[in-house]
Amino acid sequence: MSTEATIAALDAGELRVAEPDGDNWRVNADVQASILDYFRVRQMEPREVGPFEYHDKIPLKSGYEALGVRVVPPATARYGAFLSRGVVLMPSYVNIGAWVGPNTMVDTWATVGSGAQIGANVHLAGGVGIGGVLEPPGARPVIVEDGAFIGSRCIIVEGVRIGREAVLAPNVTLTASVPIIDVTGDEPVEHRGYVPPRAIVVPGTRPKEFPAGTYHLSCALIIGTRSESTDLKTSLNDALREHGIGS
């Protein structure tokens, strides 16, 4: 398939940068390589959209009414991103290669990076930063599975996977190397690059010894599990209050 045809298929949702494969995800390295090729072959050109002017290589996505997607100005999605029916884009940004599932809310000033995979019924709250991953081809993109709630100003990068219906409190920062520590049992259980399904996660720190003294480094703490009775419409504050964290 040609580069142009690959990007058109991404835009239509016929191809994905990564897709579920049982309990895991399969990365389509050839698709990632095609996106990189697309950047190389495209030329800069001006575009006018109402009162806005842009100067870029990649066209803007269009046809939202037919897709059944709500887009609030000045939200922007690039051509080659796929938005499922029922997606709501508040003033936000979705980059090429991203896939956003049905009825997901991308809230104000949230960003969805290149190739990121966002599931159905997800809420990316205000200012959330979902990183993009395209290279090296084969590298896993950031994955947020169905029903997850990502609190305001969270940052998720470097191919971190958020399990279905997990809840991240505001300001959680996750990279491939940030420890995600389950503190609900008698002994801590540490994860890297993965938040288990239905986990409730808050920002934390832990001490580390250096020659100059003891300093606290960022981590994330799993403080509980979203109860089975908590439906997808329950607010973040409600989920946190169950564990003594919400106001």
Average pLDDT in the 12-41 region?
95
Percent of the chain at pLDDT above 90? 85
Locate 138 and state its tokens: 């084969």
What's the pLDDT tens digit per position in 125-140? 999 999 999 989 999 9
124 vs 239, which has greater pLDDT? 124
Mean model confidence pLDDT for the chain: 93
Whether 171 contacts 211, CB under 8 Å: no
Average pLDDT in the 162-167 region?
96
- Is the model's pLDDT at 232 over the cut of 60? no
DSSP state of 141: P
**Domain at 3-241: CATH code:** 2.160.10.10
Amino acid symbol at 246: G
Average pLDDT in the 7-24 region?
96
Side-chain-side CA neighbours of 108 within 13 Å: the count stands at 1
The two most distant CA atoms of the chain are separated, in Å, by 61
| Residue 109: per-residue pLDDT | 97
Whether 57 contacts 37, CB under 8 Å: no
pTM comes to: 0.92
DSSP state of 82: E
Band (47; pLDDT cuts 50, 70, 90):
confident
Percent of the chain at pLDDT above 70? 92
| Residue 247: per-residue pLDDT | 42
* 94 strand-pairing partners: 77, 112
Whether 42 contacts 57, CB under 8 Å: yes
Whether 144 contacts 118, CB under 8 Å: yes
What's the pLDDT tens digit per position in 97-116? 999 999 999 999 999 999 99
Phi/psi of residue 26, each to 5°? Answer: -110, 130
What's the pLDDT tens digit per position in 174-190? 999 999 999 999 999 99
